[in-house]
């Protein structure tokens, strides 16, 4: 309830965001060691894991949105059936005119295997208008040699690609 109040106080609309009784938001802590950051996550009972439990409600929540954004972390924490449900709802929103933005945000420990991650991310790219990959993630997952190689590979599915590369300039 504290987050809901915070969002309301800051003008962030959550009217179409369901509240799932007993579920909690995902939580993470950042540890800084010099310039390096490491993350500790608590996602086991995160409400986001139930995102696709009601396919009709999910589709309705994505209706008439100018922009729908999701990430590879979202895909990774869902089971296979829920992932398919999410991607179907995103495809429906796109067909109705929403712009879809997707950040693959590959986190190896969230996936059963590299192959599963690759397959799910490619499925997501097929319903995406704007891809926001990070080069080191794409290099690790797909073996891309350069940010340009990442952009070229993603352009087979996506019209607009912005490859982030740490402190280096992004490639658009």
* The token pair that represents 167 in the structure block: 């402190």
pLDDT tens across 132-171, in order? Answer: 999 999 999 999 999 999 999 999 999 999 999 988 999 8
pLDDT at 16: 67
Local confidence band at 124 (pLDDT 50, 70, 90 cut-offs): very high
- In terms of pLDDT, which residue wins out, 144 or 20? 144
**Alpha helices (H) in 10-134, listed in sequence order:** 55-62, 72-77, 80-95, 114-125
Residue among 79, 93, 24, 18 at smallest CA distance from 54:
18
Res 1 pLDDT > 70: no
143: left (phi over 0), alpha (psi -120 to 50) or beta: left
Question: pTM of this prediction?
Answer: 0.85
Asked if residues 111 and 79 have their Cβ atoms less than 8 Å apart, the reply is no
pLDDT tens across 25-58, in order? Answer: 777 788 988 878 777 776 677 778 888 888 998 9
* The token pair that represents 129 in the structure block: 């208008």
Asked if residues 120 and 83 have their Cβ atoms less than 8 Å apart, the reply is yes
Asked if residues 138 and 169 have their Cβ atoms less than 8 Å apart, the reply is no
pLDDT at 3: 77
pLDDT tens across 94-119, in order? Answer: 999 999 999 999 999 999 999 999 99
How big is the chain, counted in residues? 172
Enumerate domains of the chain plus CATH numbers. Answer: 1-48 (no CATH), 51-171 (3.40.1190.20)
pLDDT tens across 67-88, in order? Answer: 999 999 999 999 999 999 999 9
pLDDT at 102: 98
């Amino acid at each position: 309830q504290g987050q809901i109040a915070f969002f309301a106080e800051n003008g962030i609309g959550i009217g179409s965001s369901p509240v799932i009784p007993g579920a909690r938001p995902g939580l993470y802590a950042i540890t800084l060691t010099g310039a390096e950051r490491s993350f500790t996550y608590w996602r086991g009972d995160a409400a986001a894991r139930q995102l696709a439990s009601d396919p009709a409600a999910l589709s309705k929540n994505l209706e008439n949105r100018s922009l729908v954004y999701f990430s590879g972390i979202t895909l990774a924490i869902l089971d296979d059936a829920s992932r398919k449900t999410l991607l179907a709802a995103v495809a429906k929103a796109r067909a109705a005119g929403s712009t879809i933005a997707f950040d693959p945000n590959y986190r190896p420990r969230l996936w059963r295997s590299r192959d599963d991650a690759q397959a799910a991310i490619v499925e997501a790219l097929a319903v995406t208008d704007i891809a926001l990959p990070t080069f080191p993630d794409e290099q690790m997952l797909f073996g891309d040699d350069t940010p340009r190689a990442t952009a070229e590979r993603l352009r087979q599915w996506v019209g607009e690609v912005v490859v982030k590369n740490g402190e280096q300039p992004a490639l658009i």
